[in-house]
Amino acid sequence: MLIFRQLFDPLSSTYTYLLADGGSGAAVIIDPVFEQVRRDAALIEELGLRLAYSLETHIHADHVTGAWMLKRQTGCGIALSAAGGAEGADRYLVQDDVVAFGDRNLQVRHTPGHTSGCLTYVLDDRSMAFTGDCLFVRGTGRTDFQQGDPHAMYRSIHEQIFTLPDSCLLYPAHDYRGLTVTSVREERRFNPRLGGEIGEGDFTGYMKNLRLAHPKKLEVAVPANLKCGQPANDVEMTAEPGWAALRYSFAGIWEIDPLGHIRGAILIPLGELADRVGDLARDRPIVAVCRAGSRSAQATVILREAGFGDVANLAGGMLRWRAEGHGVEGGSI
Ligand SMILES: N[C@@H](CCC(=O)N[C@@H](CS)C(=O)NCC(=O)O)C(=O)O
Ligand SMILES: [Fe+2]
């Protein structure tokens, strides 16, 4: 069974894709975003997956990749195009290479045009392809910087993408309107830049007159991505709270595992918390606790909104606390 998730970074309108072989748990992630690594790593962990590779479709100009950070956190390999000029990867991919994850794999197609090193990844059964910034839903990536070339893009799309089965689903690296997926059949017919009978000359004329502003992050993103997303200094990457062994969940909640015993807990029902934050000391970390860990997760949100910084949820609540054999002091919780 294939596990598949489409993830979104709202700041850069980037889609990140997680694919895994359900049998072995081996996974790959395509185009992770630096600021979303915590979220993506939490999902990988919660689904019980082991990340084999972080893959890039190209050297991004609008955001920094999460590849280096994911490698640091999960031990995955980094794989990207041999033609992209990046250093620090574990594998440099060329046309027809195969990236395996358990019993599944992605086949590499070189689809230059947006950049000279752009890749499209095609799933083994040709049911899905990840087209990066080559083909978008009813659009294409721009071709006006990073060795962009509309002639190359036209050929890449016609020869490498439109030759896939009609039913093959196409997943882009961005969409600026919220569209999530398309298919070869649809784009061959309806893509306004090169679908139907539109020829190469029409397409290149269209692309040369796009007149888009350069991405705001271009000057930061390209040099960082040429190093697989390694930050210039280590300070900017470790914003993790250091006051306890915390875990970040895909739901967006900081959690703490049961530690041994609870001392000095104060009973404040969730409905009263917002009005009673004055009862709580602001100079110490706070761990929220409830029966099963759900209401207390909400409590961490209320506390954060009230300006408390070091806040976490006791994962699994008192049920797990007791199940793991920890003592309950005075029965007052
Ligand atoms: N305003 C965006 C521009 C993003 C941008 O240029 N995206 C590239 C992909 S890296 C593209 O091909 N855009 C096509 C388009 O915007 O139509 C930013 O500042 O990041
Ligand atoms: Fe791009």
Q: What is the pLDDT of residues 277-328, one digit of tens each?
A: 999 999 999 999 988 898 999 999 999 999 999 999 999 988 888 788 887 7
Q: Is the CB of 239 under 6 A from ligand 1?
A: no
pLDDT at site 267: 85
- Give the pLDDT band of residue 333 (cuts 50, 70, 90): very low
Q: Is the CB of 228 under 6 A from ligand 1?
A: no
- Give the pLDDT band of residue 246 (cuts 50, 70, 90): confident
Smallest CA-to-CA distance from 78 within 219, 226, 232 is with 226
When pLDDT is averaged across residues 325-333 and rounded to a whole number, the result is: 65
Considering only 23-32, 216-225, 264-273, 322-331, which range has the smallest mean pLDDT? 322-331
Ligand 1: which atom is nearest the Cα of residue 216? 19
Stated pTM of the model: 0.86
Quick check: 258 pLDDT over 70?
Answer: no
pLDDT at site 23: 97
Quick check: 86 pLDDT over 90?
Answer: yes
The percentage of residues in the chain with a pLDDT greater than 90, rounded to a whole number, is 80
Q: Is the CB of 214 under 6 A from ligand 1?
A: no
pLDDT, mean over the chain:
92
When pLDDT is averaged across residues 112-133 and rounded to a whole number, the result is: 98
| Chain segment 228-239, per-residue pLDDT in tens | 999 876 545 556
When pLDDT is averaged across residues 5-32 and rounded to a whole number, the result is: 98
DSSP 160: I
- Give the pLDDT band of residue 269 (cuts 50, 70, 90): confident
222 C-alpha vs ligand 2 centroid, how far in Å?
A: 10
Ligand 1: which atom is nearest the Cα of residue 12? 20
pLDDT at site 259: 57
User: CA 83, CA 103: separation in Å to the nearest integer?
Assistant: 28
83 C-alpha vs ligand 1 centroid, how far in Å?
A: 21
Q: Yes or no: say if 326 and 261 are a contact pair by the CB < 8 Å rule.
A: yes
- Greatest Cα-to-Cα distance within the chain, rounded to the nearest angstrom: 80
pLDDT at site 330: 62
Neighbouring residues of 197: CB distance < 8 A, sequence distance ≥ 6: none
Ligand 1: which residue has its CA nearest to atom 1? 215
Neighbouring residues of 298: CB distance < 8 A, sequence distance ≥ 6: 270
User: CA 175, CA 24: separation in Å to the nearest integer?
Assistant: 32
- Only one residue has tokens 């009005």, namely 275
pLDDT at site 260: 52
Quick check: 26 pLDDT over 80?
Answer: yes
The percentage of residues in the chain with a pLDDT greater than 70, rounded to a whole number, is 95
Considering only 50-64, 132-146, 244-258, which range has the smallest mean pLDDT? 244-258
Ligand 1: which atom is nearest the Cα of residue 63? 20
Q: Is the CB of 174 under 6 A from ligand 1?
A: yes
Q: Is the CB of 193 under 6 A from ligand 1?
A: no
Q: Is the CB of 109 under 6 A from ligand 1?
A: no
User: CA 126, CA 106: separation in Å to the nearest integer?
Assistant: 9
Smallest CA-to-CA distance from 53 within 85, 82, 19 is with 19
Q: Is the CB of 212 under 6 A from ligand 1?
A: yes
Ligand 1: which atom is nearest the Cα of residue 60? 10
User: CA 72, CA 237: separation in Å to the nearest integer?
Assistant: 11
Q: Is the CB of 145 under 6 A from ligand 1?
A: no
Ligand 1: which residue has its CA nearest to atom 2? 215
State how beta strands 77-81 and 91-93 pair. Answer: parallel
Supply the angle between the helices 67-74 and 37-46 in degrees, to the nearest 10.
40
User: CA 211, CA 140: separation in Å to the nearest integer?
Assistant: 14
